[in-house]
Amino acid sequence: MSSCGNPNVEADALMDRKPKFDRSKVCVKCKTNPGHIVIRHAVYCRDCFFPLVTSKFRKVLTPVINENAAPGLRIRSLRAAGNLTVGFSGGSASTVLLDLVAQNYLQLDSEASTKGGKDHPRKYEVIWPEANLCYVEISNAFQGMRDRTEEIRQVVNKYDAFKFVPLRIEDAFDPDWWSKFGYRPLASELELGLSCDTTTDDIFVSHSQSSSNSTPVSRLRAFLSSLPTQTAILSSVQAIVRVLLLSMARATGSSHLVLGTTLSSLSISLISGIAQGGGFTVREEVQEEWSPAAVEGDQSGVRKGSVRVVRPLRDIGIKECAAWAWWAKLKVVGREKIPHANQGIGALTKDFIVGLERDYPSTVSTIARTCGKLAPKDTSRLRCVLCQRPAQPGVQEWKSRISLRSFTETADHIQLLADAESKPARLALAPALCYACHTTLTSRSSRGVAANQRNDASLNQTSVPLPVWIAPFLKDFTRHDHVDGSSSDVVSSGEEVFRSRKLTTDDMRKEIGEFLIEEQAM
């Protein structure tokens, strides 16, 4: 239906490029110095740039430190409920974040405290008793990547206030690592059964029979290589890193996890998330409250002991971060390029937004502001076992209604299956996943990494290990055989009963009864 212009073929289809700055080359703030940087059409000098970025940073972080941190309240009353964890990637934004957090909230030297007024930020009480810097090394996920843990350690060692907590992505598949946080390992690990049958989107979990000799790295790689698209691999890496950071934040008694998401990267992750079906969690992309058990908070969703994820650079663009790092002479370790990452939706979105930002500098802020005005349509108590974010129920029904994949109409098509004789017990995982994670595990592409092997008719099902944290959420399934022989529940949560049903013709007929004139006449 759409019939408007295509900029690739029509020169007229492109709008005129706007000038880089509005008025003069003089700083808009002090109006005396020549400008050094253009931020969305406005020119700033170097002296004014630093306070500008600092104020944008503090404006986001300060109000969310505790419940009393409302605007206008005395700044000295700030005291967080727990410790601080900084999620660090080695990129320029997280390097700047580290610098800003250290300068504004952690460095309390005695000389500085004699300067300034009584409410000056230098006179803060200790806001967070401890500050940890968490870095997740992902080099073992892919071939040929460099381990940068030691380089990161050197950067962090320059800041006395931070304790370095290195993690590795394979920890997600290491039961010993998780047992440190109170997760009780199972006698056998869970594995994911991905059906290669394109007539269904069924995903099952079952007890693994053969993975006792495998290492966390091999399990991680088996999991990633089983995913059907590059997009799925990259999204899964992000999800694993996120859950590891959250779990470590919780384990270190942190009330806050701060991440170096800039305005640019926030816009990219918002659009990329929406393009992967994550519209229900658009709010969590900006800020979220997380606790490992099922979501049982008050109306605001805040749960005691939860970790608040804050992105204090969300009003600061990537260009400003790069300028800060350059002018402040910060050492940026940089991020390793993930092989074939450019084929994923995340990379495509990044190219698109960065390209658009060049011609329309307000784009990223418009995207972030627009998404900030959105809320999930329904409330849901269900939480995705994989990404640990709120999930809508009925994902599979929705998908099967709009994309018919089979003419067979089995009443209880998606259900708990237990075939004690020939197969290990299996549990349908799909109803415990959010839309985006379900899509990650099932959506195929003709150019996908695993497409060819999945289309091989000889393979009826591929079985791959699952991250360890998923097990406690599948309560009904995991209440048996712990290594210690007990049979109690793994966690007190997991109220969800994962059972759903595909609509039959009769169900559909009931729904359309008013349209069926013959039936009405009868």
Partner 1 sequence: MAPRTCMLCDKNRAMLKRPKTGQQICKDCFFVVFETEVHNTITESELFKPGDRVAIGASGGKDSTVLAYVMKTLNERYKYGLNLFLLSIDEGITGYRDDSLETVKRNQQQYDMPLKILSYDELYGWTMDAIVDQVGRKNNCTFCGVFRRQALDRGAAMLGVDHIVTGHNADDIAETVLMNIMRGDIARLGRCTSICTQGEDTIKRSKPFKYAYEKEIVMYAYFKKLDYFSTECIYSPDAYRGHARVFLKDLEAARPSAIIDIIHSGEAFEIRDEVKATQKSQQVCKRCGYMSSNELCKACTLLEGLERGMASAGITDRGRKKLEAEGPAPDNLRTIPFYKPPSASPTVAVE
Contact status: 17 vs partner 1 (CB under 8 A)? no
Min separation Cβ 345 and partner 1, Å: 5
Tell the burial category of 326 from Cβ atoms under 10 Å away from its Cβ (0-12, 13-18, 19+).
exposed
Contact status: 494 vs partner 1 (CB under 8 A)? no
Contact status: 354 vs partner 1 (CB under 8 A)? no
Nearer to partner 1, 146 or 377 (CB): 377
Which residue of 62, 211, 254, 276 would you call a contact of partner 1, by CB under 8 A?
Answer: 276
Nearer to partner 1, 209 or 342 (CB): 342
Q: What residues between 215 and 234 interact with partner 1 by CB under 8 A?
A: 229-231
Which residue of 67, 150, 419, 518 would you call a contact of partner 1, by CB under 8 A?
Answer: 518
CB-based contact 454:196 (threshold 8 Å): yes
Output DSSP code: residue 3: -
Min separation Cβ 348 and partner 1, Å: 5
CA 439 vs CA 124, 193, 284, 382: distances in Å: 46, 15, 18, 17
Which residue of 317, 344, 465, 472 would you call a contact of partner 1, by CB under 8 A?
Answer: 344
Nearer to partner 1, 162 or 435 (CB): 435
Give just the sign of the alpha carbon dihedral 53, 59, 61, 65.
positive
Q: What residues between 301 and 320 interact with partner 1 by CB under 8 A?
A: none
Tokens of 43: 């020119």
Nearer to partner 1, 375 or 420 (CB): 375
Pairing verdict, β 131-137 and 42-44: unpaired
Min separation Cβ 411 and partner 1, Å: 18
What span, in angstroms and rounded, lies between the C-alpha atoms of 201 and 161? 49
Place of tokens 């709120």: 390
Q: Give the list of residues 6+ apart from residue 365 with CB closer than 8 angstroms, or none.
A: 40, 263, 267
Which residue of 192, 203, 274, 429 would you call a contact of partner 1, by CB under 8 A?
Answer: 274
Q: Segment contacting partner 1 (CB under 8 A): 27-35, 38-46, 319-327, 438-446? A: 438-446
Which residue of 42, 64, 69, 282 would you call a contact of partner 1, by CB under 8 A?
Answer: 282
Q: What residues between 366 and 425 interact with partner 1 by CB under 8 A?
A: 366-367, 369-371, 373-377, 392, 398-399, 401-407
What span, in angstroms and rounded, lies between the C-alpha atoms of 313 and 315? 5
Q: What is the DSSP string of 71-119?
A: TTS-GGG---SSEEEEEE-SSHHHHHHHHHHIIIII---TTGGGSS-TT
Element (H, E) at 514: none
Which residue of 81, 332, 356, 417 would you call a contact of partner 1, by CB under 8 A?
Answer: 356
Nearer to partner 1, 422 or 515 (CB): 515
Which residue of 253, 279, 339, 424 would you call a contact of partner 1, by CB under 8 A?
Answer: 279
CB-based contact 260:87 (threshold 8 Å): yes
Min separation Cβ 516 and partner 1, Å: 6
Nearer to partner 1, 104 or 363 (CB): 363
Min separation Cβ 280 and partner 1, Å: 4
Residues paired with 201 in a beta bridge = none
Min separation Cβ 18 and partner 1, Å: 12
Tokens of 231: 């997009």
The site that binds partner 1 (CB under 8 A) totals a number of residues, namely 74
Contact status: 516 vs partner 1 (CB under 8 A)? yes
Nearer to partner 1, 194 or 474 (CB): 194
Encoded one letter per residue, x for contact with partner 1 by CB under 8 A and - for no contact, window 462-491 reads: ------------------------------
Residues paired with 482 in a beta bridge = 186
Min separation Cβ 361 and partner 1, Å: 13
Exposure string over 493-519, b if 16+ CB within 10 A, otherwise e: bbebebebebeeeeeeeeeeeeeeeee
Min separation Cβ 261 and partner 1, Å: 17
Min separation Cβ 445 and partner 1, Å: 5
CB-based contact 338:91 (threshold 8 Å): no
Q: Is 45 helix (H, G, I), strand (E, B) or coil?
A: coil
Contact status: 444 vs partner 1 (CB under 8 A)? yes
Q: What residues between 161 and 200 interact with partner 1 by CB under 8 A?
A: 198-199
Tokens of 14: 């492109």
What span, in angstroms and rounded, lies between the C-alpha atoms of 160 and 442? 46
Min separation Cβ 19 and partner 1, Å: 17
483: number of Cβ within 10 Å: 12
Which residue of 132, 252, 343, 478 would you call a contact of partner 1, by CB under 8 A?
Answer: 343
Conformational region of residue 390, where left means phi above 0, alpha means psi within -120 to 50, and beta covers everything else: beta
Tokens of 66: 């505790």
Nearer to partner 1, 19 or 485 (CB): 19
CB-based contact 441:203 (threshold 8 Å): yes
